[in-house]
Structure 1
Amino acid sequence: MKQGIEDHRKDREKSDVEESISRIYPFITRVFKVYEIQKSGEVLYFFGTPKIDAENVMGELWSPLEQKGLGVTLKYELGEHILIVAPVKKIKEKIWVNFALFIATVFTTMICGAWMFGVDLSSDPLQVFQGLPFTFAILAVLGSHEMAHYAMARYHGMKTSLPYFIPFPTFIGTMGAVIRYRGPIPNRKALFDVGIAGPLVGLLVSVAVTIIGLNLDAPAVNPLSDSLMFEVGLPPLFVMIQKLVGFTGSNLHPVAFAGWVGMFVTLLNLLPSGQLDGGHVLRAMLGKKADRISSMMPRILFLIGFYVVYWLNGDGFIWIFWALFLWAFAAVGHPSPLHDKIELDRKRIFIGIFTFILGLLCFTLIPFKPIT
């Protein structure tokens, strides 16, 4: 009896495998000549040779197989091409994590904002709510950046998470926000659109926040005991806005400072290296040629930091830090889109060049230095 049940189970599994293969085999044979099929658990291995350029095989297969709940990977091992097909496991988003991090970031930025208004929270903790204007401003800047990425990724059918805000005890109360991409990038146009959406929208909101902040009266602040004060270097774009609104003061309102932060974040994100937004945009514009510029960027930043420290006697360690950061992450390389042969249109190329120019307008040699 037991043997009969076991034989029936094996026959059913064999039938299921044959059915799975029959559903996807016509799609595979269009681009891949199969000479052997193996199975391990739920994973199917198709051994063969590509009928088209190997770089385009996954691009041709991803969409029809994804519709059937399957993912595909092409590997070349020991002289053989292997298509690996496996079920895609759906990951249930834990929205409560995003919400909890957002609430925590509201409080950390509000505390920093209250300090900017000169509030002594140790003697009157309820005055923390005076930091709300800075909280609204900084979260608008950072949140708009990530939500632009999210919206554009969804538009192109990419799978991505909602933004994760990162509360952290920095002088702005946060390390920014990130979103997680799942699955491959469809093509270079999608890579460009997703990469450039964040910096463009984030910078637009930064400009708006800066204009609002420059029209507000900066609070008269007496530095708290044992507090560390910074003097910020103003990038050309910020100075242009100051002249536009007729700002002549020396102190910045915390809301205007949030606009400055947005510009600095835009600059860092637009560095054309690795998997930063600028790296995505450049990879989409130049294809694999972008790897050369990406590898040069850490060296350029290191030279800038060296120049600031030893020639200007300023604080240039931020650039040395970013040089080391990019050296570590740019070496990994940039993942290729599924359809890497599709080049960008002239409109996108123009927008890309224009955006990098905006990024340069957010640059200053010495972003900030402590006041002693």
Structure 2
Amino acid sequence: MNQADKNRRKHKQNFDAEEIVSRIYPFIIRVFEVYEIQNSGEALYFYGTPKTDAEHITQELWTPLQQRKLEFSLKYELGEHVLVIAPEKTARKKPWVNLALLVATIFTTMISGAVMFGVDLGNEPLEFIRGLPFTLAIMAVLGSHEMAHYAAAKYHGMKTSLPYFIPFPTFIGTMGAVIKYRGPIPSRKALFDVGIAGPIVGLLVSIAVTVIGLSMEVPRVDPLPNVLMIDLGLPPLFIIIQKLLGVSGDSLHPVAFAGWVGMFVTLMNLLPAGQLDGGHVLRAMLGKKAAYVSTAMPFVLLSTGLYVSYWLKEDGLIWIFWALFLSLFAAAGHPSPLHDKVELDKKRILIGVITFIMGMLCFTLVPFKFMG
């Protein structure tokens, strides 16, 4: 007997149809008038007539069924409405995948960091270890962002994966990290908390990393052949930190550069569109009216990119690219929280406004440009 058959057998053993019906029927008849129940041995099929719309049915049933480790779906088949309820399927966790990607990202960011310290990896491949300070800084920035999302989601009882870091041969050695959410969002409060936790924590760590990096001596680096140099545009928040520390100069220590990356990531994540962090936060703050802002954001970014490219004669492709990227996010819309009518408290609204302002302090028209 293979593992799939064992899981199926265990699933059937744990499926007590009579007990499940007795426990959940009172919740079902509030929103769904039942005229027939069928048992397939693995799921219960409630045939009937909805008393309200599908969104309201989901809102009413999700919490009591989740508490009993049950999942459900509302279908319309052969002219009949049917509510399908079955024991929750436990997703197989593969933490080794998260660990492998983490190790790979540490390796790729260390290589990028070593290049920033002027290491010629072609002649001294083992010297990649010199990129460790940058690795520690960038992983702290990106990791704190995702772990804040993870902690907030767990706090609200949402199902989520551990962070998946993405190793990639960019100039920072990674494309960031993501976590997967499964199941609906309980409320606007949960949506807000999960959406805003990453940017707030990530930005605080970015500020700390920037302060540390600006306090370190910038290494003297001879440009390596065939290696592109990056001219950074410093955002207002970065410049404020520089002035407070009394630091000047265009060259940055790789650790300070990691802080700059954190600010740039915060800015991009806080764009109020689609299912970006900023889209989540604005959706929680404004409700369905946030869709108007989400739809407008690609046009705002496209206008910014064209202004930078044709008026300032600088490289505005980053904004044009993100305009096209966000147009897909905006078109996909945003899923509604289960309890969407309960508005946020004033404290969260204030935190949201302050966070968006901090995000704007991470903005610069030309974030970076490559130089030969």
CA distance in 2, matches of 1:103, 1:286: 40
Residue 336 of structure 1 aligns to a residue whose secondary structure is: coil
Gapped regions of structure 1 (runs ≥ 5): 1-11
Name the structure 1 match of 2:7: none
Deviation sequence 1:241-261 (CA, Å, 0-9, x none): 110100012200000000000
Change in 2 beyond 3 A, CA 1:41/1:275: farther
**Is 1:184 aligned to 2:194, yes or no?**
no
Instruction: Judge which range, 49-58 or 163-172, deviates more.
Output: 49-58
Which residue identity lines up with residue 92 of structure 2 in the other structure? K
Cα deviation for residue 34 of structure 1 reads: 2.0
Cα deviation for residue 126 of structure 1 reads: 1.9
Cα deviation for residue 370 of structure 1 reads: 1.3
Which residue identity lines up with residue 260 of structure 2 in the other structure? W
Cα deviation for residue 88 of structure 1 reads: 1.8
- Aligned residues: CA RMSD: 2.0
Deviation sequence 1:223-282 (CA, Å, 0-9, x none): 100111110101111111110100012200000000000000000000000100000001
CA distance in 2, matches of 1:291, 1:80: 33
Residue 73 of structure 1 aligns to a residue whose secondary structure is: strand
Residue 93 of structure 2 aligns to a residue whose secondary structure is: coil
Cα deviation for residue 68 of structure 1 reads: 2.3
Q: How many residues align?
A: 360
Name the structure 2 match of 1:324: 324
Name the structure 2 match of 1:226: 226
Residues 56-135 of structure 1 correspond to what in structure 2 (within 5 A)? Answer: 56-75=56-75, 81-135=81-135
Change in 2 beyond 3 A, CA 1:206/1:51: same
State, as a whole percentage, how many aligned pairs show the same letter.
Answer: 71
Change in 2 beyond 3 A, CA 1:121/1:290: same
Which residue identity lines up with residue 230 of structure 2 in the other structure? F
CA distance in 2, matches of 1:81, 1:334: 26
Gapped regions of structure 2 (runs ≥ 5): 1-11
CA distance in 2, matches of 1:50, 1:239: 58
Residue 362 of structure 1 aligns to a residue whose secondary structure is: coil
Cα deviation for residue 361 of structure 1 reads: 0.6
Q: TM-score, normalised by structure 1?
A: 0.92
Cα deviation for residue 45 of structure 1 reads: 3.4
Name the structure 2 match of 1:279: 279
CA distance in 1, matches of 2:75, 2:340: 17
Deviation sequence 1:33-71 (CA, Å, 0-9, x none): 223445556343334344456533212211221222211
Name the structure 2 match of 1:46: 46
CA distance in 2, matches of 1:79, 1:263: 54
CA distance in 1, matches of 2:179, 2:300: 28
CA distance in 1, matches of 2:183, 2:197: 19
CA distance in 2, matches of 1:112, 1:323: 28
Cα deviation for residue 169 of structure 1 reads: 0.2
Cα deviation for residue 74 of structure 1 reads: 3.6
CA distance in 2, matches of 1:150, 1:36: 41
Name the structure 2 match of 1:23: 23
Cα deviation for residue 86 of structure 1 reads: 2.7
CA distance in 2, matches of 1:198, 1:77: 41
Q: TM-score, normalised by structure 2?
A: 0.92
CA distance in 2, matches of 1:49, 1:195: 36
CA distance in 1, matches of 2:265, 2:27: 44
Name the structure 1 match of 2:159: 159
CA distance in 2, matches of 1:53, 1:345: 27
Name the structure 1 match of 2:266: 266
Name the structure 2 match of 1:8: none
CA distance in 1, matches of 2:194, 2:152: 5
Cα deviation for residue 292 of structure 1 reads: 1.1
Residue 331 of structure 1 aligns to a residue whose secondary structure is: helix
Residues 229-248 of structure 1 correspond to what in structure 2 (within 5 A)? Answer: 229-248=229-248
Instruction: Judge which range, 206-215 or 54-63, deviates more.
Output: 54-63
